[in-house]
Amino acid sequence: MFALDIIVKKRNGEKLTKEEIKYFIDGYTNGGIPDYQASAFLMATYFKGMDAEETLWLTEAMLHSGDVVDLSCIPGIKVDKHSTGGVGDKTTLVIAPIVASCGVPVAKMSGRGLGHTGGTIDKLESIPGFRTSLSPTEFIANVKEIGIAVAGQTGNLAPADKKLYALRDVTGTVEDVSLIAASIMSKKLASGSDAIVLDVKIGSGAFMKSFEDARKLARTMVDIGHGAGKKTIAILTDMDRPLGNNIGNALEVSEAVEVLKGKGGDDLREVCIELAANMLFLAGKCDIEACRKQVIDAIDNRTALNKLIQMVERQGGDPKAIEDTTRLPQASVKVEWKSDMSGYIEKMHAEKLGIASLILGAGRKNKDDVIDPSAGIVLCKKPGDKVEAGQTLAILHTSDNERVMEALYVLKTAISISKTPVPRNPLILGKVQ
């Protein structure tokens, strides 16, 4: 077999075989196939596409390019959740303890933020002392003993994806449904869970800007999950506005805790209940309505909050910072941004809000940038809300006064106000199973 023949075949729009795809992915991962041929392969795939079978073979080849976590020593059905990324998306911090407190083990590996989207690991690390780097033995022991562990990805999970994603980033080949689906699902499948709930975001703050593209991505990922023998469901959720009111690491932990205390963040609560209920459903707990009720009960009776406190303590964090979130890192500079007109919030461009938060110090432009855990934005209004001139729209949090002007410059283009009432759009936009 030759890499060139595989590239030419795809360039001509022909279907590749499982063996050809495996040959190419293995060859690229071990260095036998150079970047220039992999770039050509990616571009050919971008233009000619892959069908469902090829996409599954690509995912399997990427999944088996490295370690596959074995969670079989943990009793019960392990359900993972993945979000395609957004602004203010702190759902893992809420959902993982809810699901664990309902008796379904959560062995979750998460990533860091890059660009305008945040990452669960950065959020957790804003809790004083919290360790996200766990050895495989410690990770599994925690799940066995307290039902939950959330850690950064360790070891050699899907190394083909790591190399290919970096190459896609610089060759204009990120935005292809097959390539995105194989990238996400290879990592999810390598993480060893029995079932997967996918939160596919749609809108200005998401990868997929239109409902149709998001539904196509969801369908492709769910088919891959089924093809790999895992129960998989995708929930389509709105990311045209940020999720919840807080953007930024410690601020998001604080908001997640509020939801677990049964307060605040109605939109965040709604999405979390839906995702957690679907995780319980895939774990075979009960029908979906009864699962929703179990989730709400776990919030109301505080078992989910207590589970978060237990996890924080087990991973070296200060549990008092969860009981009293004013003990989380606090920004030294807080600036109120006031509305100069009255009306109704019409649009909140999620990506721009994510960028403004990054400017304040909450995110990374490059993967080695150091983040400020206390930085970010607290939104005081959301789309549909009435606002009077002079009322606060948002509070900017930072440790660096110099960043405020630049962040405000971006913020001013992120929010539009209408003179007439604006309807509130639904958050849960569909389900693919």
Q: Is 191 in the site for ligand URA (CB under 6 A)?
A: no
Mask for 138-157, x = binds ligand URA (CB under 6 A): --------------------
| Binding region for ligand URA (CB under 6 A) out of 12-20, 43-51, 179-187, 412-420 | 179-187
At residue 163, φ and ψ (nearest 5 deg) are -70, -45
The smaller minimum CB distance to ligand URA, of residues 132 and 310, is found at 132
* Cα separations in angstroms, 387 against 23, 344, 392, 397: 59, 6, 8, 21
CB 331 within 8 A of CB 398: yes
- Nearer to ligand URA by Cβ, of 220 and 278: the residue is 220
* Footprint (CB under 6 A) of ligand URA, residues 346-385: none
From 178-186, 290-298, 332-340, 388-396, give the range in contact with ligand URA by CB under 6 A: 178-186
Active-site residue flag, 168 = yes
- With the CA atoms of 145, 151, 155 and 156 taken in that order, what torsion angle do they form, in degrees rounded to the nearest 10? 120
Of 81, 112, 116, 187, the catalytic one is: 187
Footprint of ligand URA on residues 155-174 (CB under 6 A)? 165, 174
**Inter-helix orientation angle 249-260/91-101, to 10°:** 40
Q: Which of 10, 22, 82, 241 is catalytic?
A: 82
Kindly tell me which of 119 and 248 has the beta carbon lying closer to ligand URA.
119
Q: Residue with the closest Cβ to ligand URA?
A: 183
How far, in Å, CA of 68 to CA of 23, rounded? Answer: 19
Of 59, 183, 193, 254, which one interacts with ligand URA (CB under 6 A)?
A: 183
Give the tokens for residue 235.
């929930």
Query: Under the criterion CB under 6 A, does residue 117 sit at the interface with ligand URA?
Result: no
Q: Give residue for tokens 């995912």.
A: 59
Amino acid in the structure at residue 106: V
CB of 426 to ligand URA, least distance (A): 24
Cβ at position 196, least distance to ligand URA in Å: 14
Q: Does 55 participate in binding ligand URA (rule CB under 6 A)?
A: no
Nearest approach in angstroms of CB 86 to ligand URA is 11
Among candidates 171, 158, 170, which has minimal Cα distance to 40? 171
| Residues paired with 418 in a beta bridge | 344
Minimum Å gap between C-beta 101 and ligand URA is: 28
On the 0-12 / 13-18 / 19+ scale of CB atoms within 10 A, 51 is exposed
**Is residue 180 near ligand URA by the rule CB under 6 A?**
yes
Query: In this chain, which of 56, 184, 236, 251 binds ligand URA, going by CB under 6 A?
Result: 184
Q: How many residues bind ligand URA (CB under 6 A)?
A: 7
CB nearer to ligand URA: pick between 237 and 245? 237
| Distance separating alpha carbons of residues 219 and 431, to the nearest angstrom | 9
- The answer to whether 345 touches 360, Cβ cutoff 8 Å, is no
Of the residues 161, 194, 199, 372, only one is catalytic, namely: 161
Burial class (CB in 10 A: 0-12, 13-18, 19+), 385: middle
Q: Interface with ligand URA by CB under 6 A: which range of 140-148, 180-188, 217-225, 252-260?
A: 180-188
Token duo for residue 290: 């009864």
Would you say 115 or 264 has its CB closer to ligand URA?
A: 115
Among this protein's residues, is 82 annotated catalytic? yes
135 is catalytic: no
Task: Compute the distance between CA of residue 309 and CA of residue 244 in angstroms, rounded to an integer.
Answer: 21
Phi, psi of 301 (to 5 degrees): -95, 10
By rule CB under 6 A, what string of x and - marks binding of each residue 203-242 to ligand URA?
Answer: ----x-----------------------------------
Q: Beta strands 231-238 and 428-432: pairing type?
A: antiparallel
Name 409's Cβ contacts closer than 8 Å, sequence gap at least 6: none
373 closest CA partner among 245, 253, 268, 205: 253
**Footprint on this chain of ligand URA (rule: CB under 6 A):** 165, 174, 179-180, 183-184, 207
Q: Which residues are catalytic?
A: 82, 161, 168, 183, 187
